[in-house]
Amino acid sequence: MAEEQKLPHVVSLFRFRVRNLTHAQNEEYRGTAERLMKIASAMPGFISFREYTGSDGEMLAVVEFASAEQLSAWRNHPDHVMAQERGRNEFYAEYQIVNCAVMHQYEYKQR
């Protein structure tokens, strides 16, 4: 049976395409992403991060925080702000961010 959990948290959906990067640029992008992941995961309210790649090359990052305020603190973290600017100028061909408040969460796990 599926169980409903009411967990007040927010989800940020980051859809993006990376530019055609050189090997060096790709290494720089990955290094920056790893560094930012360490910072984000240590922030108050961080719940999870997952990344997916579609068959057409579009990528999706799903980030969960316990509250909108904590997500905002991550968005405005100085290292993240610098990375956002670099991303627009050097790494991303396009992106879209959608922030959502979780209304209900359902889970099912086979036992």
Q: What pLDDT score does 89 carry?
A: 96
pTM: 0.85
**Phi, psi for 64 (deg, rounded to 5):** -120, 135
* Domain 3-107 annotated CATH 1.20.120.550: no
pLDDT in tens, 25-53: 999 999 999 999 999 999 999 999 999 99
Q: What pLDDT score does 9 carry?
A: 92
- Alpha-carbon span 59 to 30, nearest angstrom: 14
Other C-beta atoms lying within 10 Å of the C-beta of residue 65: 24
pLDDT in tens, 46-60: 999 999 999 999 999
Q: Which amino acid, one-letter code, is at 97?
A: I
pLDDT confidence of 104, banded at 50, 70, 90? confident
Q: What is the mean pLDDT of residues 75-101?
A: 96
Domain assignments of the chain as residue spans, ordered by start: 3-107
Q: Is the dihedral of CA 62, 64, 69, 70 positive or negative?
A: negative
